Amino acid sequence: MYRLRGSLGVALAAALLTGCGSDSPTSAPAVSTAPGTLATSPPLRIASADAATFNSQLGANAAGAQLLKLTGAPACGIDFYYIKFWTTGAANEMTESSGALMVPTGAAPACSGPRPILLYAHGTQFEQAFNIADPTAFTTTNTEGALIAAMFAAQGYIVVAPNYAGYDISTLGYHPFLNATQQSGEMIDALTAARAALPATFAASTTDSGKLFITGYSEGGFVAMATQRALDAAGKPPAAAAPMSGPYALEALFDAVITGNVDIGSTLFTPLVTTSYQHAYGNIYSATTDFYSATYATGIDKLMPTTLTPYTQLFEKGLLPELALFDSITPTVTVPGDPTLSTQLTDLLAIPSNPANPFTPVFAAGFGNPYLINNSVRVNYTLDAAQDPDGTAMGGATLAAAAPVYPLRVALYKNDMRNGSWAPSSPTLLCGGEKDPTVFFSVDTGTMAAFWGALPPGLVSVLDVDPAGGPAGTFAPIQAGFQASQMQEFEFLQSAAGGGLTAAAAQQALLQSYHGSSVPPFCALAARLFFSNF
């Protein structure tokens, strides 16, 4: 998920709605339904703003002014187009999908003529109606669209950002969440469709330079890396890529979660994962009751992404627990003939209680009753991990466990970015924050960096926006800015206006917003600066 605190969305919506779709050419349905073809052409222009208007509206309130400090003043105006294109689902089902095409406009050299394309993959969204092309939703569910508009499109990048199958107009009926093959294919389909649409836009003088950059955040970080891998395999590598805070080492991440490191948002992510892999592989469960507790099993395979708005109604209506992924009663693991290992594995599944670990309160909150996942799932998964451990659990090795048996773990391995010997051929920046309680920095970004440790120096760069040792190196200003923003937010939370929280409560509140709100703008800025070198 991604949210910006404050009233930035109001300002952006006002700025972008100076144009509308009524002046667009009449669109007609396309004849072909082949993946990557436009479903309607030309695309609908839904909004437009020149650079001066965009800048004025962004700076009209504190949140917008704060974003401008990161992005810089808009150099270009933006035309927003809504594209519809054809793609396939996890089981090769044909589906219509949609997304945004943001085209820079204006007389400045950086705003017209041949321009680079920024292919963007968004973070996890829980509401089925999500549409990243809709500026009227900048106040609510589409602040990620606002960020990429200000950070990239307003600085001269042609932005292509799909909504993903299962969202908006897609009739797929589920979202192929963390499915590397499907999601990378859909990204390439969106890119193909957007390139076909570009000459038919009002800003036809803004053309594709042939230079492609890829980035994305959270789920989108995973998707961006999978897309980079797919383009490498096709012999069409991007100029550079910047996956951000993504769950790249999927097997290692889920090994950590199942054994008690319950990440924030896990009760929402888990149904997305199991439904996705059930459609792709058909063997995650025979019935939902095999995996989920009786309290929540009925209908959970059709629950996500949700048609409820806001998605928090899932909790209010008792369809999902807000926090309790696991049973607070520790299940017993029995390894025949090995009582010592049995005890060790049982202890591993207990509620975390280490007071020295700042994540302990977050992890412990993931246990309760009623709970989401059956104890049998944890036991069987843990036995598989003990028999064939992931390298990250073995003191520095980074290889994924290549021969898992438990179906969910097999699916995770299939989609793990360490599955195979691929390494990027283009300059790559991995960005995140080490205190991330949702996508663990050391488990994902750290593991991938180590996995590629033998690559030529400079091919893969790693940025921790929140290093324990303080700002240093090329991106020191970004690190300093991030840490200053965290201190300001901490002080706000302790003030009367922010709720007057205690220091401990304020720290926990910072962790709650760390992944979804705090890190994304700073990693996006780092990505843009990184891309400017190529």
Q: Which domains occur in the chain, in start order?
A: 8-30+38-246+424-531 (3.40.50.1820), 250-415 (no CATH)
Please name which of 287, 252, 202, 195 lies closest in space to residue 24, comparing C-alpha atoms.
Answer: 202
Please name which of 490, 491, 516, 429 lies closest in space to residue 464, comparing C-alpha atoms.
Answer: 429
Predicted confidence (pLDDT) per residue in 332-343, tens digit: 999 999 999 999
Q: Which amino acid is at 486?
A: Q
Name the helix (H) or strand (E) containing 430. strand 428-432
CA–CA distance, 445 with 249 (Å, rounded to integer): 8
Residue 18, pLDDT > 80, answer no
Predicted confidence (pLDDT) per residue in 360-400, tens digit: 999 999 999 999 999 999 999 999 999 999 988 766 678 99
> What was the pLDDT predicted at 19?
42
Cβ neighbours, 10 Å, residue 91? 13
CA–CA distance, 226 with 232 (Å, rounded to integer): 10
Give long-range contacts, CB 8 A cutoff, 24+ apart: 453-458.
Answer: 453/398, 455/423, 455/424, 458/427
Predicted confidence (pLDDT) per residue in 453-486, tens digit: 999 999 999 999 999 999 999 999 999 999 999 9
Residue 235, pLDDT > 70, answer yes
Helix (H, G, I), strand (E, B) or coil at 292: strand
- Higher-scoring residue by pLDDT: 163, 21: 163
Q: Is the dihedral of CA 345, 347, 351, 357 positive or negative?
A: negative
Predicted confidence (pLDDT) per residue in 288-343, tens digit: 999 999 999 999 999 999 999 999 999 999 999 999 999 999 999 999 999 999 99
Cβ neighbours, 10 Å, residue 354? 10
Question: What are residue 430's phi and psi, to 5 degrees?
Answer: -105, 120
Residue 23, pLDDT > 50, answer yes
CA–CA distance, 49 with 138 (Å, rounded to integer): 15
Determine contact, residues 61/88, Cβ cutoff 8 Å. Answer: no
Predicted confidence (pLDDT) per residue in 482-511, tens digit: 999 999 999 999 999 888 999 989 998 999
CA–CA distance, 146 with 132 (Å, rounded to integer): 9
CA–CA distance, 507 with 489 (Å, rounded to integer): 10
